[in-house]
């Protein structure tokens, strides 16, 4: 077994079952149009990269199996819940129905129960790095923290650009389980929940401090998913520029050169890294970030030290050298809508609100018309950051100049004492769907609303 394979293995049931254990890299896109997967969620002891942890896993793996699909594919997931509590599945970022047995976060899969999820990826779906995770209100943060999350990749324009598709690819699913020194999960107290739980152990696709290999003068494509319930990642690689090519909802119009990338919970980015330095090792860092404080308790969530979460290691030389194209795709900016809404975020004791109310699945909070275009403002008068997420339809953020930034997002960071506007159109699907803070403890404590999209 070559060392590269060992490095690429995520946590799984036993070392010997490596073949099914979250292998990443340049695995081919499945050619079939129909994909049927059997996924069981359960809690078990997992081993890998020197760790032994009791986590909750999809198909015995943390992170869960990578699902790779193409527009037009039909996906069926035979899901079984062997967790101690109720759960369900949400397909974060996918533009598919939020009703029936598709991306319906209001469904319950009780302990011991099963459900067949089934949907088509629309033929015009954007490519990108999406993900799946539990979404049962009241249990989401804990289940995610204990390991339940997996990447869902949809093939798209970037995979047709030879300068990008020709590079090796690494998937970095960032998780931070909360475990004791034996590797068993610990339940966190109410203040930690209000703050948004963060674990001390950072897993990068199931590995602690993994070595990510890059060829000298070659390119590496990183697909990064913040699958932690509350932790923000401010990522940097020593002495390397991050060439961002995609955000949550797929390709950016042009390559963005970044020194660092901030990912709040639920956000994704795809970046290219060039092996342009002396062939040694460089740290992959998570820089300090202060996401504010609870007004009534006053404890700060500031992290004041940089954490090394992996190493970029030079290994071999690229056979050929190339530059990235400057333009990647076209993203039409959304026009200024007539309909505007404002949502005010709020905080109380063990209670997080939107417009003063906590979530109730039986209550409709916002009603819109299918195919209509709206501008939503999230106003955050609290002392803490709240990354806001909308299901089913991606949005464009409105910049300081009042124009829409041409990039598709589904999570937007609304910093403490600030407001952010987004534009979105409710395309294709009617029915109830959700919007919420992606600090999942806040979502569990009420910071979520039900959006009803009415057919025209
Ligand atoms: Cu990633 Cu409603 O969530
Ligand atoms: Cu989502
Ligand atoms: Cu929040």
Name which residue leads in pLDDT, 134 or 11: 134
Query: SS3 of 160, please?
Result: helix
Atom of ligand 1 nearest to the CA of 443: 2
**Ligand 1 close to Cβ of residue 207 (< 6 A):** no
Minimal CA–CA distance to 439: which of 347, 376, 340, 362? 347
Residue 382 belongs to what H/E stretch? none
Minimum CA distance residue for ligand 1 atom 1: 92
Q: What does the block give as tokens for 451?
A: 């959006």
**Ligand 1 close to Cβ of residue 450 (< 6 A):** no
pLDDT score for 28: 65
pLDDT score for 13: 80
SS3 track for 47-103: EECCEEEEEEEECCEECCCCEEECCCCEEEEEEEECCCCCECCEEECCCCCCCCCCC
pLDDT score for 12: 86
Atom of ligand 1 nearest to the CA of 436: 2
**Ligand 1 close to Cβ of residue 136 (< 6 A):** no
Atom of ligand 1 nearest to the CA of 434: 2
DSSP code of residue 28: P
Minimal CA–CA distance to 126: which of 152, 101, 100? 152
From ligand 3's centre to the CA of 22, what distance in Å? 30
**Ligand 1 close to Cβ of residue 223 (< 6 A):** no
**Ligand 1 close to Cβ of residue 93 (< 6 A):** no
d(C-alpha 382, C-alpha 295), whole Å: 7
193-205 pLDDT, tens digit per residue, is: 999 999 999 999 9
d(C-alpha 395, C-alpha 413), whole Å: 13
**Ligand 1 close to Cβ of residue 409 (< 6 A):** no
CA angle 143, 349, 146 (to 5 degrees): 10
269-293 pLDDT, tens digit per residue, is: 999 999 999 999 999 999 999 999 9
Minimal CA–CA distance to 118: which of 36, 238, 31, 25? 36
Place of tokens 């030290």: 305
d(C-alpha 61, C-alpha 47), whole Å: 10
Minimal CA–CA distance to 289: which of 307, 275, 273? 307
Place of tokens 């106003």: 379
Are 76 and 67 in contact by the 8 Å Cβ rule? The answer is no
Atom of ligand 1 nearest to the CA of 105: 2
Mention every residue, 6+ apart, whose C-beta is less than 8 A from residue 34. 73, 74, 76
pLDDT score for 268: 98
From ligand 2's centre to the CA of 48, what distance in Å? 29
Q: How far is CA 252 from CA 167, 195, 264, in A?
A: 18, 32, 18
Are 73 and 112 in contact by the 8 Å Cβ rule? The answer is no
**Ligand 1 close to Cβ of residue 421 (< 6 A):** no
Q: Which ligand is nearest to the CA of 228?
A: 1
From ligand 3's centre to the CA of 3, what distance in Å? 41
pLDDT score for 295: 82
Residue 5 has pLDDT above 60, yes or no: no
Confidence band, pLDDT 50/70/90 cuts, at residue 173? very high
Minimal CA–CA distance to 59: which of 75, 73, 44? 44
**Ligand 1 close to Cβ of residue 137 (< 6 A):** no
From ligand 3's centre to the CA of 126, what distance in Å? 28
Confidence band, pLDDT 50/70/90 cuts, at residue 212? very high
pLDDT score for 62: 97
Minimal CA–CA distance to 59: which of 32, 73, 79? 79
Place of tokens 């709206």: 374
d(C-alpha 259, C-alpha 8), whole Å: 26
**Ligand 1 close to Cβ of residue 240 (< 6 A):** no
pLDDT score for 18: 36
418-452 pLDDT, tens digit per residue, is: 999 999 999 999 999 999 999 999 999 999 999 99
Q: How far is CA 364 from the centre of its chain?
A: 26
Neighbours of 213 (CB within 10 A): 20
From ligand 2's centre to the CA of 335, what distance in Å? 24
From ligand 3's centre to the CA of 350, what distance in Å? 12
Residue 302 has pLDDT above 90, yes or no: no
| Residues 333-349, mean pLDDT to the nearest whole number | 96
Name which residue leads in pLDDT, 77 or 49: 77
d(C-alpha 53, C-alpha 421), whole Å: 41
| Bridge partners for 256 per DSSP | 244
Q: Which of 112-116, 240-244, 303-307 has the lowest mean pLDDT?
A: 303-307
Burial of 192 (0-12, 13-18, 19+ CB in 10 A): middle
From ligand 3's centre to the CA of 302, what distance in Å? 15
**Ligand 1 close to Cβ of residue 197 (< 6 A):** no
d(C-alpha 81, C-alpha 113), whole Å: 6
From ligand 3's centre to the CA of 259, what distance in Å? 26
d(C-alpha 447, C-alpha 399), whole Å: 25
d(C-alpha 271, C-alpha 85), whole Å: 37
**Ligand 1 close to Cβ of residue 135 (< 6 A):** yes
Confidence band, pLDDT 50/70/90 cuts, at residue 96? very high
Residue 211 belongs to what H/E stretch? strand 211-216
From ligand 3's centre to the CA of 169, what distance in Å? 32
Atom of ligand 1 nearest to the CA of 266: 1
39-59 pLDDT, tens digit per residue, is: 999 999 999 988 999 999 999
d(C-alpha 446, C-alpha 237), whole Å: 36
From ligand 3's centre to the CA of 382, what distance in Å? 10
DSSP assignment of 217-279 equals T-EEEEEEEE-SSS--EEEEETTB-EEEEEETTEEEEEEEEES-EEE-TT-EEEEEEE--S-S
Are 229 and 141 in contact by the 8 Å Cβ rule? The answer is yes
Neighbours of ion ligand 2 (CB under 5 A): 92, 391
């Amino acid at each position: 077994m070559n060392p590269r394979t060992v490095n690429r293995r995520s946590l799984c049931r036993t070392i010997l079952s490596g073949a099914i254990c979250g292998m990443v890299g340049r695995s081919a896109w499945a050619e079939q149009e129909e994909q049927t997967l059997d996924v069981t969620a359960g809690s078990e002891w997992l081993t890998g990269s020197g760790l032994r942890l009791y986590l909750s896993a999809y198909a015995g793996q943390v992170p869960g199996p990578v699902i790779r699909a193409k527009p037009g594919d039909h996906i069926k997931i035979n899901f079984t819940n062997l967790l101690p509590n109720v759960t369900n599945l949400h397909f974060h970022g996918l533009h598919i129905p939020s009703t029936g047995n598709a991306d319906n976060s209001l469904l319950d899969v009780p302990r011991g129960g099963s459900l067949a999820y089934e949907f088509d990826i629309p033929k015009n779906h954007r490519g990108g790095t999406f993900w799946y995770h539990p979404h049962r209100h009241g249990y989401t943060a804990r289940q995610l923290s204990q390991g339940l999350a997996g990447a869902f990749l949809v093939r798209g324009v970037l995979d047709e650009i030879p300068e990008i598709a020709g590079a090796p690819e690494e998937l970095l699913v960032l998780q931070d389980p909360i475990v004791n020194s034996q590797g068993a999960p610990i339940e966190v107290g109410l203040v930690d929940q209000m703050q948004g739980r963060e674990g001390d152990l950072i897993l990068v696709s199931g590995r602690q401090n993994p070595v990510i290999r890059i060829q000298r003068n070659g390119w590496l494509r990183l697909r990064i998913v913040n699958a932690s319930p509350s932790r923000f990642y401010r990522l940097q690689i020593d002495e390397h520029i991050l060439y961002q090519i995609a955000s949550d909802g797929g390709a950016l119009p042009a390559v963005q050169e970044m020194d660092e990338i901030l990912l709040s919970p639920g956000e994704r980015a795809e970046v290219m890294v060039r092996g342009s330095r002396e062939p040694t090792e460089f740290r992959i860092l998570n820089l300090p970030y202060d996401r504010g404080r609870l007004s009534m308790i006053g404890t700060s969530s500031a992290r004041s030290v940089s954490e090394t979460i992996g190493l970029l290691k030079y290994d071999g030389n690229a056979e050929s050298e190339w530059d990235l194209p400057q333009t990647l795709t076209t993203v039409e900016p959304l026009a200024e809508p007539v309909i505007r809404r404002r949502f005010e975020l709020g905080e109380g004791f063990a209670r997080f609100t939107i417009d003063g109310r906590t979530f109730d699945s039986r209550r409709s909070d916002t009603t819109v018309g299918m195919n209509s275009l709206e501008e939503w403002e999230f106003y955050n008068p609290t002392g803490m950051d709240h990354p806001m997420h909308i299901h089913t339809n991606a949005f464009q953020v409105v910049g300081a100049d009042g124009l829409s930034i041409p990039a598709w997002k589904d999570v937007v960071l609304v910093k403490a004492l600030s407001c952010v506007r987004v534009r979105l159109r409710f395309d294709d699907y009617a029915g109830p769907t959700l919007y919420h803070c992606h600090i999942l403890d806040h979502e569990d404590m009420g910071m979520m609303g039900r959006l009803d999209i009415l057919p025209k």
